[in-house]
Amino acid sequence: MGFAKFKGCFVLVFFVGFLVGSVSGIGVNWGTQSTHPLPPSTVVKMLKDNGIQKVKLFDADSDILEALKKSGIQVMVGIPNDMLYTLANSLQAAEKWVSKNISAHLSSGGVDIRYIAVGNEPFLSTYNGTFESTTLPALQNIQSALIKSGLGNQVKVTVPMNADVYLSASDKPSDGDFRPDIHDLMLQIVKFLSQNNAPFTVNIYPFISLYSDANFPVDFAFFDGFQTPINDNGRIYDNVLDANHDTLVWALQKNGFGNMPIIVGEIGWPTDGDHNANIKYAQRFNQGFMSRLLAGKGTPIRPGPIDAYLFSLIDEDGKSIQPGNFERHWGMFYYDGKPKYLLNLGTRTNSLVGASGVAYLPKKWCVLKPSANLNSDQVAPSVSYACQNADCTSLGYGTSCGGLDVRGNLSYAFNSYYQVNDQIDSACKFPGLSVVTDNDPSTPNCKFIIMIQTDSAYYFRNWRRIWSLPMMVFVFLFLNIM
Ligand SMILES: *[C@@H]1O[C@H](CO)[C@@H](O)[C@H](O)[C@H]1NC(C)=O
Ligand SMILES: *[C@@H]1O[C@H](CO)[C@@H](O)[C@H](O)[C@H]1NC(C)=O
Ligand SMILES: *[C@@H]1O[C@H](CO)[C@@H](O)[C@H](O)[C@H]1NC(C)=O
C-alpha cells in the first residue's frame, strides 16, 4: 500500500514535470549568415504567425533580441566558438558577456531567455581539437557569471554537441558510449551540466548519414518504417534518429547520468545542393518528425515527446560550403521568407506562413549574352569569380538547376553575383559575356532569384558586401588588363 502510494506520487510528479517542463511545442534555429537577412521584426512575425514557441540563436545579436522582446517566444542564446578562448580564460569577460547579452535583455522587461548555448559543436572533428581545452572552462565561467547575477535558476547553460561525440560499438544503441578520445572530457562536461540542472544538447542529422555513406539505407533516415529494423534486446529501431538518440541515452546511463534531460538542438533536412537534398525528402523528413512530436511520441527508451529545434528557419546564402553545397539550403523558408513546402507544425495552420511585406529589387537579371563567345578566355575566370563571391550551390548533379546547359550555368552564376551585389551595374560587367535582361530566365525547376532589399543598418554590418565592392573593382581592372 505504502509502495503504491509512493508510486502514485511519483506518477503525479512526473506529470507535473511534463506539463510545466521545457518540452512544449516546436523550436527552430534562426541563423543569420545571409548576405541579405530579413529584418528581425519580419522574422519574429513569421515565428508568431507559424505558432513557433522557441527559437535558438547562434550569437546574441542585440537587434534580434530586441525584436524578440515581449514576443512570448522562448530563446536559447548562443556563444560562437571563437569566443570560447576569451571566456575560458577570463571570468571577468564571462561576467561582461552575461551582463551585456543576458541580464540587459531580461531586466529591460522582456526577452524570455531560457538557455545559453556555450559554443556550437565544438568537438567536431574538422576543428582538430581546437576547442577541447576551452569549452568546459568557458561553460564554468558563464555558469559562475549567471549565478553571480542571480540568474542561476532562470537561465540554463548547455553545449550543443555534434552527434559523433558518442558512438556505438555495434549497430545497437545499447553499445553506446562517449568517443574514446574525448571520453573523460565529455564526462566532466556532463557532470557539470548535471550539477547545474542543465540539459545535454545534441544535433542529429540523418541527412548527413545518407550524404556521407552511399550504402546507408534511405528508408532508415525517415519515419515511415524500415524493412530490417534493429532489434536491441527487444527495443525496435526503424529509424536512425531514434537509434542515434538512444545511443546517447545509453552513453549517459552507462556513466551514471541516465536521467539527464536531452534537447535535440538541430534536426532537419536540406532542399538543394545534393541529390538527396530536395523538397520531397525535406518535407518527408520534417513532416515525419513533426507528426511524431505532435503525437507525443519519443524514442524507445524515452517515449515522451522530444524537445527539439528544427534546422532551420531560413536559408543562409553566406554559410561556408566546406561541409557540402547543401549547407546553404536547410531552411523551411527560402532567403526571402517564402515557404518551400507544406508542413504541419500542429499550430495554427496546416501550411507554413511566409514573411509579409518583403521588398524585392527590380525584376532584372544578369545573364550570358546570346552573342557571347564561349571559347573566350574570360569565361573560366568570370564564372569562378562569380561563384566564389555569390552562390552556385544549386548547380551540379541532382540539384534544382542541375539540368541547365553550359550557357544556363554561366547565366546562373552571373545572375547570382549580380543579385548578391544588389543589381549594381558594375556587377553585370563580365568582359564581353554578360547583359542585363528583364526576361525571367528561370525554368520550371530552377529559379533565377531576384534579391530582397535590406535596410541600411544591415547593409553596413555585412562583411561580404563591404569586401565585395573593392574586390570587384580590383578583379575587373585585372581582367581588363589581361
Ligand atoms: C555580446 O554578444 C555579441 C554577439 O555574439 C558579441 O559580439 C559581444 O562581444 C558580446 N558582448 C560581450 C560584452 O561579450
Ligand atoms: C585540421 O587539420 C587538417 C589536416 O591537418 C588541416 O587541413 C585543417 O586546416 C585543420 N583545421 C583546423 C580548423 O585547424
Ligand atoms: C554546370 O555547373 C556545375 C557546377 O559548376 C557543373 O557540375 C556542371 O557540370 C555544369 N554543367 C554543364 C552542362 O556545364
The CATH number given to whatever domain includes residue 434 is: 1.20.58
- What is the 93 CA–ligand 1 centroid distance (Å)? 10
**pLDDT per position as a tens digit, 73-117:** 999 999 999 999 999 999 999 999 999 999 999 976 699 999 999
Residue that finishes a domain, picked among 328, 357, 385: 328
In total, how many domains does the chain have?
2
Q: Which ligand is nearest to the CA of 383?
A: 3
Q: Looking at ligand 1, which residue's alpha carbon is closest to its atom 13?
A: 97
- Residues with Cβ < 8 Å from 271, sequence gap 6 or more? 277, 278, 279, 282, 329, 330, 331, 340, 341
Q: 103 in a domain, yes or no?
A: yes
Q: 351 in a domain, yes or no?
A: no
- What is the 188 CA–ligand 1 centroid distance (Å)? 26
The answer to whether residues 31 and 172 belong to one domain is: yes
User: Is 132 marked active-site?
Assistant: no
Ligand 1 and 59: CB distance under 6 A? yes
The answer to whether residues 321 and 177 belong to one domain is: yes
Q: Which helix (H) or strand (E) holds 263?
A: strand 262-267
- Residues with Cβ < 8 Å from 161, sequence gap 6 or more? 121, 122, 123, 200, 201, 202, 203
User: Is 327 marked active-site?
Assistant: no
**In this structure, are residues 150 and 223 in contact, taking their beta carbons and an 8 Å threshold?**
no
**Which three-class secondary structure state does DSSP give residue 482?**
coil
Total residue length of the chain: 482
CA distances from 441 to 41, 86, 413, 421 (A): 32, 49, 12, 18
Q: Which ligand is nearest to the CA of 125?
A: 2
Q: Which helix (H) or strand (E) holds 291?
A: helix 279-294
The answer to whether residues 290 and 172 belong to one domain is: yes
Closest C-alpha among 191, 333, 319, 337 to residue 271? 333
Q: 314 in a domain, yes or no?
A: yes
The answer to whether residues 52 and 172 belong to one domain is: yes
The answer to whether residues 320 and 182 belong to one domain is: yes
- What is the 401 CA–ligand 3 centroid distance (Å)? 9
The answer to whether residues 258 and 394 belong to one domain is: no
Is omega for the bond preceding 312 within 30 degrees of 0, making it cis?
yes
**pLDDT per position as a tens digit, 203-248:** 999 999 999 999 999 999 999 999 999 999 999 999 999 999 999 9
Domain containing residue 442? 365-481
**pLDDT of 441:** 98
Residue that finishes a domain, picked among 312, 328, 344: 328
CATH code assigned at 313: 3.20.20.80
Q: 40 in a domain, yes or no?
A: yes
For helices 379-389 and 463-481, angle between their N-to-C axes, nearest 10 degrees? 170
Q: Which segments of the chain have a pLDDT < 70? A: 1-23, 108-109, 348, 456-482
**pLDDT of 25:** 87
**In this structure, are residues 72 and 347 in contact, taking their beta carbons and an 8 Å threshold?**
no
> How buried is 320 (Cβ within 10 angstroms: 0-12 exposed, 13-18 middle, 19+ buried)?
exposed
The answer to whether residues 216 and 113 belong to one domain is: yes
CA dist 54 and 293 (Å) reads 15
**Which three-class secondary structure state does DSSP give residue 350?**
coil
CA dist 288 and 251 (Å) reads 26
Q: 428 in a domain, yes or no?
A: yes
For 400, the grid coordinates are: 534544382
**In this structure, are residues 393 and 329 in contact, taking their beta carbons and an 8 Å threshold?**
yes
For helices 135-148 and 91-98, angle between their N-to-C axes, nearest 10 degrees? 60
CA distances from 134 to 85, 86, 140, 185 (A): 6, 9, 10, 11
**pLDDT of 350:** 80
| Residue indicated by cell numbers 507528426 | 291
Residue that finishes a domain, picked among 275, 302, 328: 328
**In this structure, are residues 151 and 106 in contact, taking their beta carbons and an 8 Å threshold?**
yes
| Residue indicated by cell numbers 547545474 | 196
CA dist 66 and 63 (Å) reads 5
The answer to whether residues 53 and 198 belong to one domain is: yes
The answer to whether residues 307 and 189 belong to one domain is: yes
* DSSP characters over 152-183: TTTSEEE-EEEGGGEEESSSSGGGEEE-GGGH
Ligand 1 and 60: CB distance under 6 A? yes
